[in-house]
Chain A
Amino acid sequence: MKKKTLGKIISISGATVRTDLTGLTLFERVSVGEHNLTGEVVRLDKDGAVLQVYEDPSGLGLNEPVQGHGVSLATTLGPGLLSVMFDGLQRPLDALVEKTGPFIHPIHLSSTLDLTKQWSFTPFVNRGDTVAGGVKIGYVDEGPFQHPIIIPADKNGRVKNIAQGTITLDEPLCELDDGSKIFGYQSWPMRVPRPYRKKISPQGPVVTGQRIIDFLFPLARGGTSIIPGGFGTGKTILEQTIAKHADVDIVIYAGCGERGNEMSELIEEFLHLVDPRTNCPLMDRTVLVVNTSNMPVAAREASIYTAVTLGEYYRDLGFHVLLLADSISRWAEALREISSSLEEMPGEEGYPTYLASRLSSFVERAGVVETLSGDIGSLSMILSVSPPGGDFTEPVTQALLRTSGAFLMLDMTLANSRHFPAINWMQSYSLYQNILADYFKKNISNDWEVLRKLCREIMHKEESLKEIMEIVGIEGLQEQDRLVMTVAEKIRFDFLAQNAYTADAFCEPQKTMDIIRNITDQYLRGQDYTAGKSENETL
């Protein structure tokens, strides 16, 4: 690690600070001012640097000290993250309450994880074994999981000492022959993707329990879905319902620039709901990263990187991880605010021109990988987008459309008629449907694809008949068209709509199949009947 150096503040504009400190590196973490506010180096000049402060800058004064840390802004990874709620800079919000009360004051908290908590460690390796980065040297028991401890990516060597039994995180678990000590936790620069052996194409679905998603617009493990929708279309409820029920090992939920009340509600619910797979509270498989709309904007920008780094860590341990972010638009707005305070040239709608490239490199961190230790892990993403005025032509939605694999468009008209989830079945799409068709055929039912096509066909027909019906009424339609209308209505009410507040909130793929088969059977029988009748008439 580099030696810490000291400088002073020479200019302040909002949360953008200029210092005369030299010798810093780009994206290095810094402490700013008398209260040691956390910041990051965003630009380097000949005689100083520009810093972005991640906390409320009011009261920050000229000539106050600036200190470089020699490392990038990093995420701490290890046992004890699950069921904790962090802010965008990964400070545990519970610990913050203890320090500053119910309101958040700018404060420097030194440790993310509880270093004194005792864990029971079972080693996999013995003295003399050779280990490399990513190798699992043992595990600790954490709630329903065995949490593997892995060698940091940049370390390797022969094991000189290995602990066993009760351990804490502040003492080394393992010592290598080159003298390096391995702890139960490690840190990783949040803006850098974590390494893996190789990437594999998305495979197998993330079952969300939402019929319209699983059946019509499925998400593959390692894939990315986006959910754009205006306010009141039910983005947050949909994200939270998926967070509760999705069949993954770990859920990372990033509340990015959204409402505080929603987050407190989420914690309350997750503490009491039981995960049927493990019989433990849902919270035990969840990490929350929360930067509500009134918390500092720059930390909001960092929050999704904290979340994705956490997601990659669990992926590297061999878990299937789902990252839900609500909402990416608030992140983009934070990026815009920072960019404008740096006086960069704006692109479309004031967003910086690097919006699309930042977004695509973020989305690329999803995927199925073979980890450094040879396991298979996956990180999937579901990202909500809040387009201004519900207008999908805006830059954030458009940039995400190019990089994501499934588009779940939320429709204001459906929401107004209280049809939830308000996913528009005409315009949404999933590029994973072909990859997943085989899986569903093999594992759920042979006729999955057939019924899927039939269902879409009925909905298409309804759409084109709707206008005619508005004028002539249902009585004015031909018999087979009337059949389409009744069956389509049934599909909408009994299949596509799903109440998030009842037991119907989660629907197994098998049950999804049964419901749709039931409805389409009626359709096919009705078709035979009308066809038979018209034949009789001609006879």
Chain B
Amino acid sequence: MRLSEHKYRTTSRIAGQLLYVENVHAARIGEVVKVLGPHNIALEGEILEIVKDNILIQLFGETRGLNTENLEIIFTDTIRQVPLARDIIGRRFNGSFEPLDGLPMFYASEWRPARGYPINPVARLGPEEFIETGISAIDGLNTLVKGQKLPIFSCAGLPAKELVAHILQNARLRESSKRFAVIFVALGLTFNEYSFYLEALQNIESEFVAIINMADDPVMERLMAPRFALTVAEYMAFDEDMDILVLVTDMTNYCDALREISNARKELPGRRGYPGYMYSDLASLYERAGRIRDSKGSITMIPVITMPEDDITHPIPDLTGYITEGQIVLSRELHQQGVFPPIDVLPSLSRLMQKGIGPGKTRDDHRDLANQLYKNYAKGRELKKLEAIVGRDGMSEADQLLLDFADLFENEFVHQEKQTRSIYKTLDKGLEILERFDLLQHNLQKKTEA
């Protein structure tokens, strides 16, 4: 703790959002500074680097109109913190954590660092509770589990936001009496997307908190917004015992912001210009999802990623896939066929599915049924390639059956438009189409009869 407030007027250089101050006596890494400029400009910043008495500050917000002579820099001796209180529920904030809904700031009952602290792996509780989304392709084959981080890999022009809205409106924890809330983080959204999501949020029954960074808002705030949101999520989940669903869209904008800031700091670029630490940086967000011992709450995270050039090996989806527990992949082909949601179940995966399904959770035959659907659909899709070469008539009867099965699977199981299916309806639907093609294996049939 410093005893007096430190104020400096010794700015030596400004470059974009970076500010250099000299002759500083005391400073901390990550310390928040306030910058007061001409015409009542008031900005916040964070100390990035200390080289003897020269300090490098990352500024948040618009830097136009600043000059080196008239800046007053106040060192606060604290690191970036988030105000927390129960009253936060139902509020909307911008990327600097200022209210956007016209209401005054709530009274904070406590403050916590925005970057958070890593969960001790020993203190983690494994995810095991099924979350019903009402979507067959997810519930049936790529089950979402409480405490999981499951991203949606979309492509430009695909209805990711409609899918997310559908999940928001229907997601429920089976037989849960606990409080459930959604935290919505918009990163670099256009006004159009923003108003779509806001309307969806206002139509859901659960409570929500929104942190909004629009496409024309400062880029640095895009990096802070998810951290604010997750600090709020940790508070609501682990202090207030709530089940929290954190929805982040679009992580591609986040990664581009990270690249932009990294470049401004003259760091070495890695693959496609993204910084080498992008994996660790993304992990510091995604890994904040989960459950912990001694707390009833949970944080489940659904980040949305728009894959540049529809390429799943692009660094953003690639690094995300290495951290998250699976992925839901949307397909342009299915979308063109008019299937909604256009989820391609073959590359999609939920790594925690095994934990959330089966006896006492969904239904005894869930795993078997999912395997059979997957296997037959995979075969059918494989045969489609062959069909393109030899034509349908050149194929055996059994192969033609699988081709038809694959079509039906897409059009009746995956495709569900605006309907919502309970997990039982989803599983029955799966059974039904397997039966229709006589593909159901006996062991499964017996089990469901019993």
Contacts and interface: CB of A to CB of B under 8 A. Distances in A.
Interface string B380-418: 000000100110001110000000000000000000000
Interface of B: 24-31, 48-53, 79, 113, 115-127, 147-148, 238, 267-271, 276-277, 279-280, 283-284, 287-288, 290, 292-295, 313-315, 318-319, 321-323, 325-327, 346-347, 349, 352, 354, 371, 374-375, 378, 386, 389-390, 394-396
B387 to A, nearest CB: 11
Interface stretch (A189-197, A219-227, A262-270, A275-283): A262-270
B50 A333 contact: no
Contact of A97 (B51, B120, B319, B323): B120
Centre residue among B29, B126, B389 by max chain A CB count within 10 A: B29
Contact of A294 (B269, B288, B375, B396): B288
Nearest to B27: A62
B120 A261 contact: no
A129 to B, nearest CB: 42
Nearest to A293: B283
A187 interface: no
Interface string A134-148: 000000000000000
Given A59-B28, A259-B325, A340-B267, A294 B51 contact: no
Given A62-B25, A294-B288, A333-B277, 15 more contacts: A62-B50, A96-B120, A97-B123, A103-B118, A103-B123, A230-B313, A232-B327, A232-B349, A264-B124, A267-B122, A336-B270, A349-B271, A470-B386, A471-B389, A473-B395
Interface footprint category on A: 35 or more
Given A231-B318, A389-B313, A389-B318, A417 B118 contact: no
Contact of A470 (B31, B325, B371, B389): B389
B122 A97 contact: yes
A58 B277 contact: no
Contact of A261 (B30, B48, B124): B124
A interface secondary structure, majority: mixed
A479 interface: no
A417 B375 CA distance: 8
Nearest to A290: B121
Nearest to A265: B126
A350 B287 contact: no
Contact of B313 (A18, A63, A260, A390): A390
A103 B386 CA distance: 53
A56 B26 CA distance: 19
Given A232-B349, A294-B283, A336-B276, A59 B318 contact: no
A103 B117 contact: yes
Contacts of B113: 58
19 contacts: A11-B49, A12-B50, A13-B49, A56-B115, A62-B25, A63-B26, A85-B122, A102-B123, A231-B322, A232-B321, A293-B284, A294-B283, A297-B277, A350-B269, A389-B315, A391-B313, A416-B347, A470-B389, A471-B389
Interface of A: 10-14, 18, 56-63, 85, 93-94, 96-97, 100-105, 230-232, 255, 257, 259-261, 263-265, 267-268, 290, 292-295, 297, 330, 333-334, 336-337, 340, 346, 349-350, 386, 388-391, 416-418, 470-471, 473, 475, 501
